[in-house]
Amino acid sequence: MQDVFGYPQFRGQQGAIVERVSAGGDALVLMPTGGGKSLCYQVPAIARHAAGQGVTIVVSPLIALMQDQVGALQELGVAAAFLNSTLDWAEAQEVEHRLLRADLTLLYAAPERVLTPRFLDLLDKLHARGKLALFAIDEAHCVSQWGHDFRPEYRQLTLLHERYAGVPRVALTATADALTRSDIVERLQLQAAEVFISSFDRPNIRYTIVDKQRDPTRQLLRFIQDEHEGDTGIVYALSRKRVEEVAQALCESGLDAMPYHAGLPQATRAANLARFLRDDGVIMVATIAFGMGIDKPDVRFVAHVDLPKNIEAYYQETGRAGRDGEPAHAWMAYGLQDVVNQRRMIDTSEAGDDFKQVLTGKLDALLALAEATDCRRVRLLAYFGEKYQGPPRSPASPGPLPLSWAPPEGAGLARGGPSLRPVLPVRHCGNCDNCLNPPQTWDATEVARKLLSTIYRLRQASGFAFGAGHVMDVLRGRETDKVKQYGHERLSTFGLEARLGEPQLRQVLRQLIAMGAVHVDASAYNTLNLADAARAILRGEQALALRPLESGRSERKRERSA
Ligand code: ADP
Ligand code: ZN
pLDDT digits (tens, 9 = 90+) for 89-118: 999 999 999 999 999 999 999 999 999 999
With a pLDDT cut of 90, the percent of the chain lying above it is 61
Ranking 132-136, 297-301, 357-361, 406-410 by mean pLDDT, the lowest is: 406-410
Q: Mean pLDDT throughout 442-460?
A: 94
How sure is the predictor about 16, in pLDDT bands with cuts at 50, 70 and 90? very high
Helices (H), 169-293: 178-187, 216-227, 240-252, 266-278
Q: How does pLDDT run across 248-258, given as a tens digit for each residue?
A: 999 999 999 99
CB 433 within 8 A of CB 555: no
Report the pLDDT value the prediction gives residue 176, as an integer from 0 to 100: 65
Report the pLDDT value the prediction gives residue 39, as an integer from 0 to 100: 96
Angle among Cα 499, 342, 212 to the nearest 5 degrees reads: 45
439 CA distance to ligand 2 middle (Å): 12
Residue 8 alpha carbon, nearest atom of ligand 1: 24
In 3D space, the residue among 184, 485, 213, 469 whose CA is nearest the CA of residue 334 turns out to be 213
Report the pLDDT value the prediction gives residue 293, as an integer from 0 to 100: 64
Nearest-angstrom CA–CA distance, 93 and 101: 13
Residue 1 alpha carbon, nearest atom of ligand 1: 23
Report the pLDDT value the prediction gives residue 68, as an integer from 0 to 100: 87
Buried b (16+ CB within 10 A) or exposed e, 82-120: bbbeeeeeeebeebbeebeebebbbbbbbbbbbbeeebb
DSSP secondary structure of 477-533: T---HHHHHHTGGGSTTTTTT-SS-HHHHHHHHHHHHHTTSEEEETTTTTEEEE-TT
SS3 per residue for 134-152: EEEECCHHHHCCCCCCCCH
User: Which residues does 173 contact at the CB level (< 8 Å), separation at least 6?
Assistant: 29, 30, 139, 140, 141, 180, 184
Q: How does pLDDT run across 312-324, given as a tens digit for each residue?
A: 889 989 999 998 8
In 3D space, the residue among 293, 246, 247, 238 whose CA is nearest the CA of residue 268 turns out to be 247
Report the pLDDT value the prediction gives residue 147, as an integer from 0 to 100: 65
- Whether 232 lines ligand 1, by a CB cut-off of 6 Å, is no
- Whether 35 lines ligand 1, by a CB cut-off of 6 Å, is yes
- 405 pLDDT higher than 90: no
Ranking 36-40, 415-419, 459-463 by mean pLDDT, the lowest is: 415-419
Angle among Cα 513, 235, 432 to the nearest 5 degrees reads: 65
In 3D space, the residue among 408, 304, 320 whose CA is nearest the CA of residue 366 turns out to be 304
Q: Mean pLDDT throughout 58-78?
A: 92
Q: How does pLDDT run across 141-184, given as a tens digit for each residue?
A: 999 877 667 888 999 999 999 999 999 999 999 876 778 888 89
Residue 32 alpha carbon, nearest atom of ligand 1: 3
pTM beyond 0.80: no
Report the pLDDT value the prediction gives residue 446, as an integer from 0 to 100: 93
Q: How does pLDDT run across 262-271, given as a tens digit for each residue?
A: 999 999 999 9
- 435 pLDDT higher than 90: yes
- Whether 457 lines ligand 1, by a CB cut-off of 6 Å, is no
Nearest-angstrom CA–CA distance, 268 and 272: 6
How sure is the predictor about 557, in pLDDT bands with cuts at 50, 70 and 90? very low
Q: How does pLDDT run across 500-534, given as a tens digit for each residue?
A: 888 889 888 888 887 778 888 877 778 899 988 89
In 3D space, the residue among 119, 145, 123, 120 whose CA is nearest the CA of residue 132 turns out to be 123
Report the pLDDT value the prediction gives residue 408, as an integer from 0 to 100: 33
- DSSP structural state of residue 193: P
Report the pLDDT value the prediction gives residue 149, as an integer from 0 to 100: 77
- 188 pLDDT higher than 70: yes
- Whether 33 lines ligand 1, by a CB cut-off of 6 Å, is yes
CB 321 within 8 A of CB 328: yes
Nearest-angstrom CA–CA distance, 370 and 420: 13
386 CA distance to ligand 2 middle (Å): 15
Q: Mean pLDDT throughout 351-373?
A: 83
- Select the more confidently predicted residue: 559 or 381: 381
User: Which residues does 406 contact at the CB level (< 8 Å), separation at least 6?
Assistant: none
Strands 328-334 and 527-530: unpaired
- Whether 30 lines ligand 1, by a CB cut-off of 6 Å, is no
CB 381 within 8 A of CB 388: yes
61 CA distance to ligand 1 middle (Å): 19
- Select the more confidently predicted residue: 562 or 7: 7
How sure is the predictor about 210, in pLDDT bands with cuts at 50, 70 and 90? very high
Rounded to the nearest integer, the mean pLDDT of the chain is 87
- Select the more confidently predicted residue: 492 or 521: 492
How sure is the predictor about 356, in pLDDT bands with cuts at 50, 70 and 90? confident
Q: Mean pLDDT throughout 370-374?
A: 86
Q: Whose CA is nearest to atom 15 of ligand 1?
A: 36
- DSSP structural state of residue 96: H
Nearest-angstrom CA–CA distance, 226 and 58: 44
Residues in a beta bridge with 332: 209, 304
436 CA distance to ligand 2 middle (Å): 7
Number of Cβ within 10 Å of residue 5's Cβ equals 15
Angle among Cα 321, 323, 327 to the nearest 5 degrees reads: 65
- DSSP structural state of residue 435: H
Nearest-angstrom CA–CA distance, 454 and 472: 9
Q: Whose CA is nearest to atom 12 of ligand 1?
A: 36
Report the pLDDT value the prediction gives residue 148, as an integer from 0 to 100: 66
- 11 pLDDT higher than 80: yes
Report the pLDDT value the prediction gives residue 552, as an integer from 0 to 100: 40
Ligand closest to CA 380:
2
ipTM of the complex: 0.97
In 3D space, the residue among 544, 495, 493 whose CA is nearest the CA of residue 518 turns out to be 544
